[in-house]
Amino acid sequence: MFPEITHDDVFRLETERLWLRWPRLADAQAFVVLINDPEVTRHTTLPRPYRSQDAEDFIRFACAANAAGESLYLVLAPKRDPNTPIGVISSEGAQSRGESRLGFWLARAFWGQGLMSEAASAFVDLVFKITSLERIVSAAAPDNIASLRLQERLGFTRTGRTVIDAADGGSLEIITTELKRGGARTTFGARRPKLSST
């Protein structure tokens, strides 16, 4: 379970270039545009095409999960434009002592700038700092080299391969990974991410 500080929509996490904040219904149309980019969704289980109703349903679900402390879904937004979402990162299915699943996506226009590395480093550090989770698991398609490299930089190790259901009704092969408590590599070193609830 995530602690009470994360249960309110004023919670946010600050990195050098980003705010990681709760999703808002105002983000829905931007999500539709960004997620309908086939390069963004080809390695995900997000529905295609992604419609306004899908975005609104996700935002309501994410906010309810955040408020209950079951998961933590945060939108990546540039500090210079905090109302504009450019991606999402999440820790889903957190139990009091156990594991959660790390998921993330980033708009193609922002690839190659180190933004997801920046966000994920701070986010993973946060998850281990404020929960009693023993490990975080994740996954990526074998040809999603950028995602696998990011996970490896964070300290994730490969645990196997499996096949999951894809949004189009087909199947998607994925490489599974895990990061155990104490194994995280953060780019922040001794500098911890800044939290805000006001």
Residue type, 111: W
Total length of the chain = 198
Q: Is residue 165 part of a domain?
A: no
pLDDT tens per residue across span 35-69: 999 888 887 888 889 999 999 999 999 999 999 99
Q: Kind of pairing, strands 171-180 and 194-196?
A: unpaired
How many CB atoms within 10 Å of residue 134?
15
How many CB atoms within 10 Å of residue 31?
24
Q: Is residue 159 part of a domain?
A: no
Q: Is residue 145 part of a domain?
A: no
* Domain carrying residue 78: 4-136
Q: Is residue 186 part of a domain?
A: no
Q: Is residue 31 part of a domain?
A: yes
**197 falls in which pLDDT band (50, 70, 90)?**
low
User: How confident is the model over 135-145, as a mean pLDDT?
Assistant: 93
CATH number of 128's domain: 3.40.630.30
Q: Is residue 68 part of a domain?
A: yes
Q: Is residue 141 part of a domain?
A: no
CA angle 78, 84, 90 (to 5 degrees): 75
Q: How far apart are CA 133 and CA 72, in angstroms?
A: 13
pTM of the model: 0.90
In 82-132 the beta strands, taken as DSSP E runs, fall at 87-92, 99-106
pLDDT tens per residue across span 97-110: 688 999 999 999 99
**Number of domains the chain is built from:** 1
Q: Is residue 49 part of a domain?
A: yes
